[in-house]
Structure formats: structure tokens, C-alpha cells
Amino acid sequence: MKRQEVLNVLKRQLRDKLNVAGDYPAEDELLDYVLADRWASVKEALLRAEEGLYGICADCGKNIALRRLKARPEAIRCMQCQSSKDQQRAKHEMRIRLAYA
Ligand SMILES: [Zn+2]
């Protein structure tokens, strides 16, 4: 995917997420949103590190794979738990969207 295509996908997702009709959000709004989301994850990972829980999945308690932590140091869930969390979130957002459609 080219840069503009990736940006358009992200903008569409953000527009849907924020339930904004009409124009795509501006690039700086998109960046703000992504950074805020990422920052919240970093803060959560730091809190877990203070409790001695860094690298331990918040859901199943197993070790998070080192490869995952290298790619995403703020990860608080293993891949499996994160995937199911993402699926739950997507279903929840879909239900909300349908309820307001
Ligand atoms: Zn897990």
C-alpha cells in the first residue's frame, strides 16, 4: 500500500470510530488520535512495570513473547489475548454503530 492509501484507510477508520460524518479528519487530528491512543498504552505498561508485571499478559498471566515486546514494548497482552480483545472491541463498536444507524 502506498502512503496515501494507508493514510486514507486510517482516516476512514478514525472517522468511523469517532462517528464523524462527511470529510476525513485532517492528518494532524489523525496523528493526535494515534499518539493519544499509543500514549495511554505506554502509561499502562509503565504502571504494570512498577508493579513488577512488565512482560506478563494482563489477561492470561503468561509471558508475552519477547518478539512481541521488541516490536511493541508497551504491549500488556500476549498476541492471543490481544487478538480476542480486538475482536471483542470490534464487535462492541459494530453493535454501537448498528444501534445508532
Ligand atoms: Zn494472554
For residue 50, the CA-to-ligand 1 centroid distance in Å is 19
Rounded to an integer, what distance in angstroms lies between the CA atom of residue 98 and that of residue 31? 27
- Rounded mean pLDDT, 49-76: 93
Residue 23: pLDDT over 80: no
pLDDT of residue 80: 97
For residue 45, the CA-to-ligand 1 centroid distance in Å is 14
DSSP annotation of 20: -
For residue 24, the CA-to-ligand 1 centroid distance in Å is 35
For residue 48, the CA-to-ligand 1 centroid distance in Å is 14
For residue 76, the CA-to-ligand 1 centroid distance in Å is 9
- Rounded mean pLDDT, 44-52: 91
For residue 2, the CA-to-ligand 1 centroid distance in Å is 33
16's CB contacts (< 8 A; 6+ apart) are 97
C-beta atoms surrounding 53 within 10 Å: 14
**pLDDT tens, 26-41?**
777 778 878 888 888 8
Domain ranges in the chain?
Answer: 1-53, 55-101
pTM exceeding the 0.85 threshold for the entire prediction: no
For residue 25, the CA-to-ligand 1 centroid distance in Å is 34
CB crowding 28-51: b at 16 or more within 10 Å, else e: eebeebeeeeeeeeeeebeebeee
